[in-house]
């Protein structure tokens, strides 16, 4: 009897990469404080890294969703997963909205500030970036199937991928060669992504240096109340709301899950965008034991509809602007304005500054007299964007596990081993090769 060759586990050298990211962030902060003018010129470096990652988003989402949907025998299963996910997202957005309202009304973060002419102009400029609900719905449909991959829209890619997945379902056995080809393309795309991640320290250095150089330490002193209040509110939401739900449904400790995703949080913190970690979240959730269909539908959809951090931000920022302009909002005005903003913000996840444009656009539509106050937040929006992105990311990770548990598409035994460190994630490929090989071995031989 011959036994298969046992390969020694590959040494993970990527921990050096993330140590380098931490060092790069520290150096970037120092350069931004000591040489602000020079640091401002480093912004293209950070932008280049984010763009490198963003160019991989569409092919990764397409491959993941097509493989997940195309391999499911019944379309009703996909609909069940999507329905559960959307329902959960709406509930959590409402909860985040309520928490933000409570904290914002307690802190009164904008008291004592005033709006000058330059600040008012900055706020008016941001209002031009808003998007109404009809435009958002129409933007989901791409001009062509190919343009969905170049339009920088997660929802357009999701739309085309779902159509392709359902079409492959209908093809049956004739569609299997196509699915197999997409599997190979997915493996190639993840390998490219793993290579690009080695540029993370350089990108983090440029991004952090530029924002610190542009903002400066003095500009933050008068705005610390809303910054600290926002960060504390986000932490309360993650650990007091999401934590108990995750434990009750999936018996997973929120701290353990977040530790498993520690490298992704570091990337988000350095790039101020949750989009840079989207491909890694897809790969890690599959490795954790959530099925491909659930991951393929929940994660990309969550990036557009599960914006817990953005909901909290819009709530507190609106109250901040109202206080700063001495035009406090009634409770009814707060609710109607913020519900509109939550709807308008769908699809804005991962885009740096999109929350600010949504805030200004919502105020322009409902209370134009408050738009000038948005300029007060421009200086600190980048720092708040980091908390928004981190909270959105944590919410989507929890949502994926919850939906997997509710649909019985979550392997708890595998998850326990992964979270204990028994089955480490393969950083070199970002693909769960071991799981795929086991799946192949269990299939009957063809022919």
Residue 360 lies in a domain: yes
Q: What is the pLDDT of residue 372?
A: 67
Q: What is the pLDDT of residue 403?
A: 92
Is residue 290 helix, strand or coil?
strand
- Nearest 5°: the CA angle 40, 20, 431 is 110
Across-strand partners of 290? 410
Which CATH number belongs to the domain containing residue 206 in this structure? 1.10.3860.10
For 280, the token pair is 């890694």
Give kind and range of the element (H or E) at residue 178: helix 176-196
If 0-12 CB within 10 Å is exposed, 13-18 middle and 19+ buried, where does residue 46 land? buried
**Number of domains observed in the structure of the chain:** 1
Residue 167 lies in a domain: yes
Residue 346 lies in a domain: yes
Q: Are 426 and 182 in contact (CB under 8 A)?
A: no
Residue 7 lies in a domain: no
Range of the domain at 241: 14-432
Across-strand partners of 47? none
Residue 6 lies in a domain: no
Q: Are 265 and 280 in contact (CB under 8 A)?
A: no
For 14, the token pair is 């990527």
pTM: 0.67
Helix axis angle, 308-324 relative to 331-344, nearest 10°? 140
Q: What is the pLDDT of residue 400?
A: 92
Q: Are 48 and 203 in contact (CB under 8 A)?
A: yes
Q: What is the pLDDT of residue 244?
A: 94
Residue 177 lies in a domain: yes
Residue 2 lies in a domain: no
Q: What is the pLDDT of residue 9?
A: 47
Residue 3 lies in a domain: no
- Give me the tens of pLDDT residue by residue for the chain, a chain 447 residues long: 444 444 444 555 656 766 777 788 788 878 887 887 888 888 788 778 777 777 777 787 788 778 767 666 555 566 777 778 888 888 888 888 888 888 877 876 655 554 444 444 444 454 455 555 566 677 778 888 887 777 766 678 778 888 888 888 788 788 888 888 888 888 888 788 778 777 778 877 887 777 677 666 654 554 567 778 888 888 999 999 999 999 999 899 999 999 998 888 887 877 666 777 778 888 899 899 998 888 888 888 787 777 788 888 888 888 877 777 777 777 777 777 777 666 655 544 444 455 666 676 667 666 777 776 666 666 566 667 778 888 888 999 999 999 999 988 898 889 888 888 888 877 766 565 544 443 333 343 433
CB atoms within 10 A of CB 317: 30
Q: What is the pLDDT of residue 239?
A: 93
Is residue 431 helix, strand or coil?
coil
Q: How far apart are CA 98 and CA 151, in angstroms?
A: 34
């Amino acid at each position: 009897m011959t036994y298969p060759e046992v390969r020694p586990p590959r040494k993970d050298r990527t921990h050096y990469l993330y140590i380098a990211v931490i060092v790069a962030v520290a150096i970037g902060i120092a350069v931004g404080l000591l040489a602000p003018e020079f640091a401002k010129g480093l912004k293209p470096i950070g932008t280049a890294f984010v763009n490198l990652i963003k160019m991989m988003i569409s092919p990764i989402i397409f491959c993941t969703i097509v493989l997940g949907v195309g391999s499911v025998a019944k379309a009703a299963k996909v609909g069940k997963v999507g329905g559960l996910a959307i329902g959960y997202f709406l509930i959590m957005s409402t909860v985040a909205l309520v928490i933000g309202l409570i904290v914002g009304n307690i802190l009164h973060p904008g008291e004592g500030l005033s709006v000058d002419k330059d600040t008012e102009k900055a706020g008016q400029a941001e209002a031009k970036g808003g998007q109404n609900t009809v435009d958002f719905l129409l933007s989901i449909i791409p001009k062509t199937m190919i343009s969905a991959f170049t339009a920088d829209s997660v929802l357009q890619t999701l739309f085309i991928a779902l159509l392709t997945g359902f079409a492959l379902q209908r093809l049956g056995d004739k569609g299997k060669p196509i699915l197999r080809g997409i599997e190979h393309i997915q493996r190639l795309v993840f390998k490219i992504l793993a290579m690009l991640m080695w540029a993370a320290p350089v990108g983090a250095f440029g991004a952090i240096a530029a924002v610190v150089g542009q903002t400066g330490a003095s500009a933050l002193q008068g705005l610390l109340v809303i910054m600290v209040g926002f960060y504390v509110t986000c932490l309360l939401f993650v650990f007091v709301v999401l934590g108990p739900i995750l434990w009750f449904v999936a018996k997973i400790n929120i701290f353990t899950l977040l530790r498993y995703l520690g490298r992704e949080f570091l990337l988000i913190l350095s790039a101020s965008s949750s989009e840079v970690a989207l491909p890694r979240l897809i790969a890690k959730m599959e490795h954790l034991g959530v099925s491909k269909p659930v991951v393929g539908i929940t994660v990309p959809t969550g990036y557009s509809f599960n914006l817990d951090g953005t909901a909290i931000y819009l709530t507190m920022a609106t109250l901040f602007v109202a206080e700063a302009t001495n035009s406090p909002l009634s409770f009814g005005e707060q609710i109607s304005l913020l519900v509109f903003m939550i709807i308008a913000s769908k699809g804005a996840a991962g885009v740096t500054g999109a929350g600010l444009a949504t805030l200004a656009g919502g105020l322009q539509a409902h209370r134009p007299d408050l738009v000038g106050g948005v300029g007060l937040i421009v200086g600190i929006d980048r720092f708040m964007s980091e908390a928004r992105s981190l909270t959105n990311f944590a919410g989507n990770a929890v949502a994926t596990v919850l939906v997997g548990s509710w649909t019985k598409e979550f392997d708890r035994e595998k998850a326990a081993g992964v979270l204990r460190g028994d089955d480490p994630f393969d950083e070199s490929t970002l693909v769960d090769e071991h799981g795929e090989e086991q799946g192949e071995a269990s299939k009957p031989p063809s022919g």
